[in-house]
């Protein structure tokens, strides 16, 4: 089996990977890394969970470090060695992606390797204050991981320039096309040097992605390690046909009760919030993830799910691609998606990187025709099975039952809570005011151990704390909702990034805090 060293990666990078338990390249990495290291443009095609992030992160870091230190450049030219930091506001590497969650996930993978080679990274996306992003750029960064909308904003303000970009990566280009970002992506690429290296990763080449390939990639080497339009073989699909909506509710509640991580997908933000609240009230701690949540609530909820404090995440399609969490054993389509690509993206949260997982679709009688069409397009062979709550089929999918948590929290207004156990693993919690889709709330009071009492936070929807505190047995009384956070640069001694998703425009309604100053809620477009 090929090793990372045999792919041509430097020893510090190989050691950094080994320290994190990453020793064997995935097929997409083994196939594409040598060509990317050689300076070739690369078109990578593969399903989610195939290891694409390291496939582009490793060459980006290696090439930028080598060129900084006088290594061979394109066409064999050598650059003079330099130990200075990248010029202020002039990064050399650019990674474009569609969502805030994905930007943070990419940076979490990229930053440790970059630090090993003395490079700095930062994230740029909307829905949060731009101040920390501007500060990071002013301090000097080597690689920017960005969503197109906020990046264009900062370019228009003259906060940074792209004329020093040597390597550009487009990750999940098909999703950027689905979200309508391709015009902005083209404008951004037009501002990068024509002679720069470009790497594009996409599951499909429809919706204009093929135009990007033809226009911006020069004689690309194509690597496709699997059929990105088909589910992985280690993923098992189940269609549970229920008699009516009452039976559906009971079956969904039962599926949420296992001890392992599971993601439940709904079609609307309202349904996601409602289901997460319903499960939490029923003793199954759950958090939600959707476009109406503010940045801080997204950070806390995803952090609670990632850490395992909460085992159930209820999400909408907008969050489907941004959830890159290991060991998700079950995905439940509470509402079948509108089309087959959404089904595959949702389902791709499980059975990642060679692991196994189950995917369940709960189907009402009137949805049979739509499901038949969807499964045919998604190349799914599962047949509907009639079930009732408590049937052996459902019980087998649930697995070991987690104990119910009695009255995990008392709710006034909307379901929310404070971050469990001090910092709770996310940066940016506890900040005043907020940006993005939530309403600025009042002063929160927290009782019991775990969260910080008396902090002023914003929340909207079910937050990590309420559910996680419930799991820990620390009941809380909550009076308002959400918190905001912002990314910080990562480098030698750099901090961690909060995690958030790109969503829909916020409600932006301004309210006054109880007993405090007016809130800072704003009407902010957070889709990019």
Query: Per-residue pLDDT tens for 160-206?
Result: 999 999 999 999 998 899 889 999 999 999 999 999 999 999 877 77
pLDDT of residue 151: 98
360/374 Cα distance (integer angstroms): 14
CATH topology of domain 5-224: Rossmann fold (3.40.50)
pLDDT of residue 298: 86
pLDDT of residue 48: 65
DSSP symbols for 387-404: --TT-HHHHHHH-SBPPP
Q: What are the sequence ranges of the domains in the chain?
A: 5-224, 235-398
Could you give the 3-state DSSP secondary structure of residue 147? Answer: coil
pTM over 0.85: no
Give pLDDT tens digits for 399-439. Answer: 999 999 975 443 333 344 333 333 333 333 333 333 334 33
Of 217, 181, 171, the residue nearest 196 (C-alpha): 217
178/32 Cα distance (integer angstroms): 25
> Do the beta carbons of residue 362 and residue 285 sit within 8 Å?
no
Domains 5-224 and 235-398 agree in fold: yes
> Do the beta carbons of residue 13 and residue 117 sit within 8 Å?
yes
Give the chain's residues under pLDDT 70: 1, 47-49, 70-87, 226-233, 319-322, 353-354, 407-528
Give pLDDT tens digits for 187-197. Answer: 999 999 999 99
Dihedrals φ, ψ of 393, to 5°?
-60, -45
Which residues are within 8 A (CB) of 19 and not within 5 positions of it... i.e. 6 or more apart? none
314/312 Cα distance (integer angstroms): 7
Q: Count the alpha carbons within 13 Å of 512 in the hemisphere toward its beta carbon.
A: 4
pLDDT of residue 354: 64
528/517 Cα distance (integer angstroms): 29
371/123 Cα distance (integer angstroms): 39
pLDDT of residue 442: 39
Which residues are within 8 A (CB) of 380 and not within 5 positions of it... i.e. 6 or more apart? 231, 237, 343, 374
pLDDT of residue 414: 38
**So what's the architecture of 235-398 in CATH?**
3-Layer(aba) Sandwich (3.40)
Of 290, 301, 356, 370, the residue nearest 328 (C-alpha): 356
> Do the beta carbons of residue 429 and residue 419 sit within 8 Å?
yes
Task: Characterize the bridge pairing of strands 312-315 and 286-289.
Answer: parallel
């Amino acid at each position: 089996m090929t090793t990372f060293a045999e792919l041509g990666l430097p020893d510090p990078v190989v050691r950094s990977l080994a320290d994190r338990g990453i020793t064997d390249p995935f097929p997409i990495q083994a196939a594409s890394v040598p060509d990317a290291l050689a300076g070739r443009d690369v078109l990578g095609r593969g399903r989610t969970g195939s290891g694409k992030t390291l496939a582009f992160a490793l060459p980006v870091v290696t090439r930028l470090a080598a060129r900084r230190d006088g290594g061979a450049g394109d066409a064999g030219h050598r650059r003079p060695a330099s130990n200075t930091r990248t010029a202020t506001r002039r990064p050399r590497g650019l990674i474009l992606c569609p969502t805030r969650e994905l930007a943070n996930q990419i940076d979490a993978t990229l930053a440790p390797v970059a630090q090993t080679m003395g490079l700095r990274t930062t994230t740029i996306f909307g829905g949060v204050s731009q101040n920390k992003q501007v500060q990071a750029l002013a301090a000097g960064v080597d690689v920017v991981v960005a969503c197109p909308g906020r990046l264009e904003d900062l370019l228009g303000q003259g906060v940074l320039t792209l004329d020093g970009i040597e390597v550009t990566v487009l990750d999940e280009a098909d999703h950027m096309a689905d979200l309508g970002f391709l015009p902005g992506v083209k404008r951004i690429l037009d501002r990068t040097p024509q002679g720069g290296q470009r790497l594009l990763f996409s599951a499909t080449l429809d919706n204009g992605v093929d135009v990007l390939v033809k226009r911006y990639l020069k004689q690309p080497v194509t690597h496709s390690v699997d059929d990105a339009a088909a589910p992985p073989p280690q993923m098992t699909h189940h269609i549970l046909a229920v008699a009516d909506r009452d039976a559906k509710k009971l079956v969904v509640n039962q599926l949420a009760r296992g001890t392992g991580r599971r993601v439940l997908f709904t079609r609307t933000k309202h349904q996601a919030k409602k289901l997460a609240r319903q499960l939490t009230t029923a003793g199954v701690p759950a958090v939600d993830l959707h476009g109406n949540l503010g940045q801080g609530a997204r950070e806390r909820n995803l952090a609670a799910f990632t850490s395992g404090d909460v085992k159930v995440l209820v999400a909408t399609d907008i969050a489907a691609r941004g959830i890159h969490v290991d060991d998700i054993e079950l995905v439940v389509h509470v509402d079948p998606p509108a089309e087959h690509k959404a089904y595959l993206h949702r389902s791709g949260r499980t059975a990642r990187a060679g692991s196994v997982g189950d995917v369940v679709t709960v189907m009402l009688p009137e949805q049979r025709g739509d499901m038949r069409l969807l499964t045919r397009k998604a190349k799914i062979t599962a047949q509907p099975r009639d079930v009732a709550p408590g049937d052996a089929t459902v019980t087998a999918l649930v697995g070991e039952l987690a104990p119910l948590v009695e009255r995990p929290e008392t709710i006034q207004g909307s379901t929310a809570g404070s971050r469990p156990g001090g910092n709770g693993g996310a940066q940016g919690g506890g900040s005043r005011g907020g940006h993005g889709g939530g309403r600025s709330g009042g002063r929160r009071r927290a009782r019991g151990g775990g969260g910080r009492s008396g902090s002023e936070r914003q929340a909207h929807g079910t937050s990590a704390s309420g559910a996680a505190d419930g799991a820990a047995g620390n009941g809380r009384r909550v009076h308002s909702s959400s918190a905001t956070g912002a990314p910080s640069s990562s480098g030698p001694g750099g901090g961690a990034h909060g995690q958030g998703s790109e969503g829909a425009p916020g409600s932006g309604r301004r309210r006054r805090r109880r007993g405090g100053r007016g809130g800072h809620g704003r009407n902010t477009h957070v889709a990019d």
